[in-house]
A and B are shown apart, each in its own frame.
Chain A
């Protein structure tokens, strides 16, 4: 029993220790060990064959694509890639596990240790490395469909999902807060999207997460930990964040009441009840199970060649962390703006770079302006239309041309946005939009004449300006635009000030 003064403990004294296990469904057309489709949402048991239903006599054959995607994922997560990997059987009985064992990887996972750099959004904390323990390939189980009427009717088994390839990514207990857990999951999902290995669709279960949570207390010499709780099947980032927050509070309260430590109780499994917003205990039985792992004699071990690893590396492309860095160093964006672009996906980054490069000068991209337009105008449109950048009607080169003309003073920002709206509405190019809106460059004699007219018609304003209130020139700009909407406010302002000798 601990000598820590439990009565005096505050929640802020607790150090929260979190490790995550994330199951990622790999983007293959067929299952891990047979040719059945992995498509989501089909009628029950229509995507099955003798192999994935574990019929007597059938044998698994590895889907090479799943292994290739695992290697790619491992590289993107800075993991060591095994040169020798093998398959093991995890034996247990469950109605939706047709063979009575799951083919998984026990001691030779395809991906060894790695890490993900995680920064909590809008916080001043620097990015932290969350270390990964391993990532191994395994087959998914089926689904039990229970009678929800409560009348104790039959339970049915749908084996469409059995054999779907899953990569289980296991972190070390490096995560220190619920926000950080959420940030980790967000970054992980982003990376998986960048390397195109998973749909990461949590509603369809292609990204699932379990969280291992406990608290550490230190008091001088003594350090104690609360029993570890595994929260199962968190199916949204928000659920993960809330479940961890709740569980941390619950463990704190329990520790204060009972003083029970990790040495007193085995790991416990709890589920997250989203409607009640609390974790609830699940069966203990599964925890004490002895899975009797042994190498699957039906599958030969796999030797991964240097060439395969090199090929996977060259297919990765730039990853989010590197791209944030590039947007900051080469395009002059700040932390926040670079994250906005990068978080919107690889295609958005490509779009942004094309706009910034195309609207700037050689070696000097127009980063900040492109960031403003892409980060606001473009993304607003995409949000409103629930579209992705691939579907955005204005191509990057057209957007670049528009921004170049704004920069050159052919049109001001406000008119420029009208031009963009016209392009979006009619699908026309930049020049056509200019023509439609009657935007022409005002030549210098017209401009001079207009300035003279304004000076003559507004003597009071001119006096004010001369008297030092240079700001008052703004009221003349409004008047000028009524006379000629093509007038560039900046140029007009310069001209007026020049004429009146300021």
Chain B
């Protein structure tokens, strides 16, 4: 049994007490990475050298009796769209193939200060655009439960790393479901915090008003430990919230008596927007809700009438912001410059050569949607619908503490399955995108396996703004009664 099979809580206790060294944790993690990455392709790069040095330094501190922080010795995978000082950060793009940031993202600083050790940079869809990690310049990440299937996206590498036992925790980012959906596909727990709860400084922006960094781990409690470290105001991020940060770990222990769980009828209607909710997913999620009721929660039927507009709204807002955010990648900086006869030619050619198809598709969508004449039709209308979606949540949270439903309508799909039909792929975000549009937090946790393909099913819980404590409370209590989160894929 590996030291990494422990919960994060246990692992940190052992490291702090000197029972296990940080170096042992890193050794184990790096050897897992080396063994499994050729198959999984969960990592764009490893941080072996730096990780070993950090672990040795930490062991010296522990030997000297120094305090080493709440994540002492925890190997962690960081999505490669998050900047790490001195360590190549590619965002899954050829455009940033050789980009080495001169600074750490705020969350990387916080993780390091808490004693976590970055063992590698996890693969992702290029610039976080995708729901399958098939759009990475560095190749597809495979699902540890089935090598034929995608790990989900865009934080597919981060999800696969945890599911495969390479690292007990990872960091992802979620713009329309990019943490929750791969967590669901890979059978782990992943959290999209409230917008503003976690600093975005150092996250290579996809869609700034939707992006949020969050933790991925095996259990809700492990995620809560990470969230305690990640959360809090950052003066470098103007959109960062100044709200107090509760002790999420302590909040896990509250029971569910009196908790009101909203069941949104739109989530279970057969085709909320043309996507089908898979029957196995439906029954898995329903069983999980029954379990929550047994724990003391009650269910209330609620209405989120604008759910069906979440995906189209998302696919206007996100590309608009992306088209602007990605303007900086122009060939003047960051990448090799293509030769052309004039300046505009150089920009066009450099961008054409260095961006993948999905990124170009979304830049074009965004540029079109913001163009004068269309901006009222598209961007402004989408912003109005976004407000309606937020209003739906506000009304729902007057009646309930949580909203429960499936994370994704299906289990992980086959690699290449949606290659010819990007619109079908976009529908994977149908249950997740609205939380990003409204800014509310959500968690995905494993709640069973499909009888058809044996792949994990995810339960999504959503809470009101800054209501993460309620998410952790429900998810942890559920995990004390179930062992879905402890199941491991055969291969690892």
Contacts and interface: CB of A to CB of B under 8 A. Distances in A.
Contacts of A58: 103, 201-202
Contacts of A57: 82-83, 89, 101, 105, 201-205
Contacts of A93: 327, 330, 343-344, 347
A294 B200 contact: no
B332 A59 contact: no
Given A56-B83, A56-B101, A100-B330, A294 B238 contact: no
A interface bracket (residues with beta carbon within 8 Å of B): 20 to 34
A292 B148 CA distance: 42
Nearest to A87: B238
Contacts, number: 98
B345 to A, nearest CB: 12
A62 B237 CA distance: 10
B239 A50 contact: no
B333 A98 contact: yes
A299 B238 contact: yes
A242 interface: no
Nearest to B201: A59
Contact of A298 (B99, B239, B372): B239
A297 B238 CA distance: 10
A268 B297 CA distance: 69
A283 to B, nearest CB: 11
A297 B101 contact: no
B149 interface: no
A54 interface: yes
A95 interface: yes
A300 interface: yes
A59 B200 contact: yes
Nearest to B99: A56
Nearest to B208: A297
A99 B238 contact: no
A500 interface: no
Interface in A38-67: 50, 53-62
Contacts of B332: 95, 98, 157
Given A59-B237, A61-B236, A101-B327, A50 B96 contact: no
Contacts of B367: 292
B209 interface: yes
A93 B327 CA distance: 7
Interface string A61-76: 1100000000000000
A interface SS class:
loop
Given A56-B83, A57-B202, A100-B328, A294 B344 contact: no
B370 interface: yes
Contact of A294 (B89, B236, B370): B370
Given A294-B375, A297-B321, A60 B343 contact: no
A352 B38 CA distance: 83
Contacts of B207: 297
Interface in A75-122: 89, 91, 93, 95, 98-101
A210 B209 CA distance: 35
A89 B379 CA distance: 14
A401 B372 CA distance: 69
A286 to B, nearest CB: 12
A460 to B, nearest CB: 92
A290 interface: yes
Interface of B: 82-83, 89, 91, 96, 99, 101-103, 105, 200-205, 207-209, 235-239, 320-321, 323-324, 326-330, 332-334, 343-344, 347, 367, 370-372, 375, 379
17 contacts: A50-B101, A55-B101, A55-B102, A57-B105, A58-B201, A59-B201, A59-B236, A62-B238, A98-B332, A99-B327, A100-B324, A157-B332, A290-B372, A292-B372, A293-B370, A299-B239, A300-B239
Q: Nearest 6 pairs between A and B by C-beta? A: A100-B327, A297-B209, A297-B208, A292-B370, A56-B204, A57-B202
Given A93-B330, A93-B344, 18 more contacts: A54-B328, A56-B83, A56-B89, A56-B91, A56-B101, A57-B105, A57-B205, A59-B201, A59-B236, A91-B370, A98-B333, A100-B328, A157-B332, A293-B370, A297-B209, A298-B205, A298-B238, A299-B239
Interface of A: 50, 53-62, 89, 91, 93, 95, 98-101, 157, 290, 292-294, 297-300
